[in-house]
């Protein structure tokens, strides 16, 4: 019984810590009206008491949502976000006050504390200057809503650590300014009134907090006594305030790239946030695996519900992966009064269509002025986008990615039984070709004029829609096609296999449709409805041309696809009397931008090595090395060689240049293939280095060996 009571007491203590982490941090009540003076910088009120073992146990005991959530639960949680497609990003804080300018330089914005190397004691002088008297939460939300945006993501706290809400764990917040109004509270209330989802951006990095590490390299503040775990406790307390007090729908983290933040902490933070609100959506910057500006993470390894491409749109989208492109209207995220390089309305609307057509969301940024108003350029763009969305929004909300791999005239989205064509380039002949469309549309019309049907007819290449002389919209005209069932297209036929092969290969063929037949020929003639029917990968044994054509109801549809194949003749093996392990090398010094003609040069050194080894170099730059010897093929077949080098390189087998990776460049991987008889084959590797990074790795792949570096036991001289 006594043991049972002890367990109960421990559990009760753990629960108390989870419920109120902020309480364990504060050693005195906050005074919202206390000014933050330059003479005495106000640091967040963080207790000097280290994190207790109970708190550590509590963090471990939080449910692991990454492992426990089913695909059905995940899809249900993400549904509203996927349907929204369009949101407003807002970067606003103390950095709006200097408006991007510091000591004559005008290149700054939300990063000004560090890009201008402003000491924290100096930076906090912006606090009494931040007084956005013209801030109108209702007007902000209405502008977002009128533009067709379904959610708002605003910086609750950016990297400078300043908070836009009335925080109970720090005085470094909006209540310390002359404004003294909780901006997040007002925006949240207005979003609830107007039917817009409220979401928060929250920086993991914090340049102001005394416990955040690392310090900036130029800073004079000492890091002595700083405790990063204590900072994490502070951050969690703030997140608890935000989630329980404002009920955001998304937490958009950032600033996770410094070495103090780890994958393990990212997983803990993700689960902590979900423990406070299980249905909240969290971006992948909570963890460390987003892969730079491309914003893509391995969902099996790293935490995060969606990817975050920044200032870019994935070329082909990211199938099977939730993502959101965040992008500025001009060059900066925060307000910079000198930055007038705003994107055109046409560019922004076409980007919106492009992103939706690839299955992503568009988070478009506004950098408000310090008085609480939006830049005029942003307001005009929002109005133009809103006008377009009023007429064409059905072609974005709730849609899925395009069924077409590429459209020369624009983009496409699909929703249920309706396909939307987003036409960027209006055809001069008033004929819009929709390549590969198999399904017969029941109704075709401009989204802005549904009462005026358009005519459509079908040809071998797909469907052709007759259009009026002038586009319906100056930026993007949207055409809706309604079908009885989800529309089907045939993609351009894709022929697999390798162009050069030995001894034979089975070639797969794909067109993306299950309702058509693919017929083929191997003699270079065009297939007809009597040609062999593709049912399984086609066996290719000789040099020739494979041509494929899709048929539906004995009628050809789409274009003929073809691919040239060449059966290689294995290179005869060489005879070498008493081969010895290793390679010969010659070392040269000189300045080159390309591989030189080594026959005209005198080597500075020569010798033997076990492999393609750069350690024989005498200096790190302006050098070249030639390796020569023999490669042993353990069986007859096709061999692929790979060269990964910085700078240029070349690989020859026999007298054949198999890989040409020449020129000045960063680490670059190239490959080539050749058929080899079993036995020894002359091999030569050439390399040069100008300046910068230096590397050269040689790999191979054989019929029985996966790609790997060439081992010492396959090289001879």
In the structure, what pLDDT confidence band is assigned to residue 121 with cuts at 50, 70 and 90?
Answer: very high
pLDDT of 650 over the 80 cut: yes
In the structure, what pLDDT confidence band is assigned to residue 291 with cuts at 50, 70 and 90?
Answer: confident
pLDDT of 13 over the 60 cut: no
Lowest-pLDDT choice from 71-75, 305-309, 478-482, 666-670? 666-670
Ranges of H-type helices in 295-363 = 345-357
Domains 410-482 and 494-567 belong to one CATH topology: yes
pLDDT of 654 over the 60 cut: yes
Report phi then psi at 634, rounded to 5.
Answer: -80, -15
CATH code for the domain defined by 583-716: 3.90.182.10
Domain range 53-288, CATH architecture: Alpha-Beta Barrel (3.20)
The pLDDT assigned to 313 comes to 97
- 334 Cβ contact partners less than 8 Å away, ≥ 6 residues apart: 91, 92, 93, 95, 96, 100, 109, 110, 111, 112, 158, 367
Residue 329, CA distances (Å) to 93, 96, 132, 365, 458 in order = 18, 16, 22, 6, 41
In the structure, what pLDDT confidence band is assigned to residue 554 with cuts at 50, 70 and 90?
Answer: confident
In the structure, what pLDDT confidence band is assigned to residue 7 with cuts at 50, 70 and 90?
Answer: very low
Return the percentage of the chain with pLDDT > 70, whole number. 91
The pLDDT assigned to 39 comes to 32
Residue 70, CA distances (Å) to 201, 297, 563, 613 in order = 26, 19, 43, 50
| Pairwise CA distance, residues 452 & 464, whole Å | 17
Mean pLDDT of the chain: 91
What is the average pLDDT across 198-223? 96
Domain range 410-482, CATH architecture: Sandwich (2.60)
pLDDT of 174 over the 70 cut: yes
Domain residue ranges of the chain, discontinuous segments joined by +: 53-288, 410-482, 494-567, 583-716
What is the average pLDDT across 540-557? 93
Say if residues 476 and 350 touch (Cβ distance below 8 Å): yes
The pLDDT assigned to 460 comes to 83
pLDDT of 570 over the 50 cut: yes
In the structure, what pLDDT confidence band is assigned to residue 32 with cuts at 50, 70 and 90?
Answer: very low
The pLDDT assigned to 31 comes to 37
pLDDT of 41 over the 80 cut: no
pLDDT of 5 over the 90 cut: no
Say if residues 86 and 64 touch (Cβ distance below 8 Å): no
pLDDT of 164 over the 70 cut: yes
Reading the block at residue 534, the tokens are: 């593709």
pLDDT of 48 over the 70 cut: no
Residue 504, CA distances (Å) to 133, 262, 291, 584, 639 in order = 76, 49, 39, 36, 14
| Pairwise CA distance, residues 314 & 360, whole Å | 9
Say if residues 353 and 392 touch (Cβ distance below 8 Å): no
Residue-wise pLDDT for 335-362, tens only, equals 999 999 999 999 999 999 999 999 999 9
CATH 2.60.40 fits 494-567, yes or no: yes
Class of residue 666 by CB neighbours under 10 A (exposed 0-12, middle 13-18, buried 19+):
exposed
Edge-to-edge strand list for the sheet holding 443-446: 410-415, 418-423, 477-482, 443-446, 449-453
- 31 Cβ contact partners less than 8 Å away, ≥ 6 residues apart: 171
Residue-wise pLDDT for 426-456, tens only, equals 999 999 999 999 999 999 999 999 999 999 9
pLDDT of 60 over the 70 cut: no
In the structure, what pLDDT confidence band is assigned to residue 61 with cuts at 50, 70 and 90?
Answer: low
What is the average pLDDT across 552-575? 92
Higher pLDDT: 56 or 438? It is 438
């Amino acid at each position: 019984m006594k043991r049972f009571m002890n367990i109960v007491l421990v559990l009760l203590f753990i629960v108390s810590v989870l419920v109120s982490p902020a309480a364990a941090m504060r050693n005195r009540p906050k005074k919202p009206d206390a000014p933050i003076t330059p003479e005495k910088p106000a640091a967040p009120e963080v207790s000097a008491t280290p994190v207790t073992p109970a708190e550590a146990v509590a963090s471990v005991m939080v449910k692991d949502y990454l492992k426990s959530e089913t695909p059905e639960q995940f899809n249900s949680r993400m549904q509203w976000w996927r349907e929204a497609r369009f949101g407003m990003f807002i970067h606003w804080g103390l950095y709006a006050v200097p408006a991007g300018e510091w000591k004559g330089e005008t290149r700054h914005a939300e990063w000004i504390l560090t890009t201008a190397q402003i000491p924290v004691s100096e930076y906090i002088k912006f606090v009494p200057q931040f007084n956005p008297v013209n801030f109108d939460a209702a007007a902000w939300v209405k502008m977002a809503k009128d533009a067709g945006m379904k959610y708002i993501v605003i910086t609750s706290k950016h990297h400078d650590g300043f908070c836009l809400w009335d925080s109970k764990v720090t005085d470094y917040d909006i209540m310390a300014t002359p404004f003294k109004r909780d901006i997040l509270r007002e925006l949240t209330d207005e979003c609830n009134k107007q039917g817009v989802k409220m979401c928060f951006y929250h920086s993991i990095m914090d340049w102001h907090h005394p416990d955040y590490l690392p310090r900036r390299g130029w800073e004079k503040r000492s890091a002595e006594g700083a405790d990063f775990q204590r900072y994490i406790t502070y951050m969690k307390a703030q997140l608890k305030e935000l989630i329980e007090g404002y009920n955001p729908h998304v937490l958009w983290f950032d600033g996770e790239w410094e070495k103090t933040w780890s994958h393990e902490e990212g997983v803990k933070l993700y689960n902590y946030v979900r423990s406070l609100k299980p249905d909240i959506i969290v971006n992948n910057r909570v963890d460390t695996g987003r892969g730079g500006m491309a914003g893509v993470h391995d969902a099996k390894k790293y935490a995060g519900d969606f990817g975050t491409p920044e200032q870019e749109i994935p070329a082909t989208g990211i199938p099977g992966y939730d993502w959101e492109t965040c992008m500025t209207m001009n060059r900066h995220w925060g307000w910079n009064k000198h930055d007038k390089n705003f994107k055109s309305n046409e560019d922004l609307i076409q980007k919106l269509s492009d992103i939706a057509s690839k299955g992503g969301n568009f988070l478009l940024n506004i950098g408000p002025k310090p008085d609480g108003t939006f830049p005029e350029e942003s307001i005009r763009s929002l109005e133009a986008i809103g006008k377009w969305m009023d007429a064409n929004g059905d072609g974005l909300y709730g849609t899925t990615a395009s069924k077409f791999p590429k459209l020369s005239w624009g983009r496409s989205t699909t929703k249920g039984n309706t396909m939307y064509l987003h036409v960027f380039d209006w055809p001069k002949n008033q004929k819009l070709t929709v390549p590969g469309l198999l399904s017969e549309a029941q109704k075709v019309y401009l989204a802005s004029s549904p009462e005026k049907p358009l005519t459509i007819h079908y040809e071998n290449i797909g469907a052709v829609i007759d259009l009026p002389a002038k586009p319906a919209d100056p930026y993007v005209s949207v055409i809706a096609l309604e079908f009885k069932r989800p529309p089907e297209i045939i993609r351009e036929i894709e022929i697999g296999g390798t162009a050069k092969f030995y001894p034979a290969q089975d070639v797969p063929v794909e067109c993306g449709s299950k309702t058509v037949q693919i017929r083929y020929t191997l003699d270079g003639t065009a297939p007809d409805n009597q040609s062999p029917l593709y049912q399984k990968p086609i066996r290719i044994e000789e040099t020739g041309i494979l041509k494929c054509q899709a048929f539906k109801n004995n009628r050809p549809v789409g274009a003929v696809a073809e691919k040239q194949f060449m059966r290689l003749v294995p290179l005869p093996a060489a005879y070498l009397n008493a081969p010895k392990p290793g390679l010969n090398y010659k070392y040269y010094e000189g300045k080159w931008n390309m591989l030189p003609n080594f026959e005209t040069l005198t080597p500075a050194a020569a010798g033997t090595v076990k492999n393609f080894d750069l350690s024989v170099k005498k200096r790190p730059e302006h050098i070249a090395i030639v390796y020569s010897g023999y490669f042993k093929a353990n069986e007859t077949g096709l061999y692929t060689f790979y060269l990964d080098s910085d700078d240029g390189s070349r690989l020859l087998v026999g007298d054949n240049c198999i890989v040409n990776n020449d020129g000045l460049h960063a680490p670059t991987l190239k490959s080539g293939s050749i058929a080899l008889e079993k036995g020894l084959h002359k091999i030569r590797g050439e390399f040069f280095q100008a300046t910068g990074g230096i590397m050269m790795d040689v790999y191979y792949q054989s019929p029985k060996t996966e790609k790997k570096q060439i081992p010492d036991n396959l090289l001879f001289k």
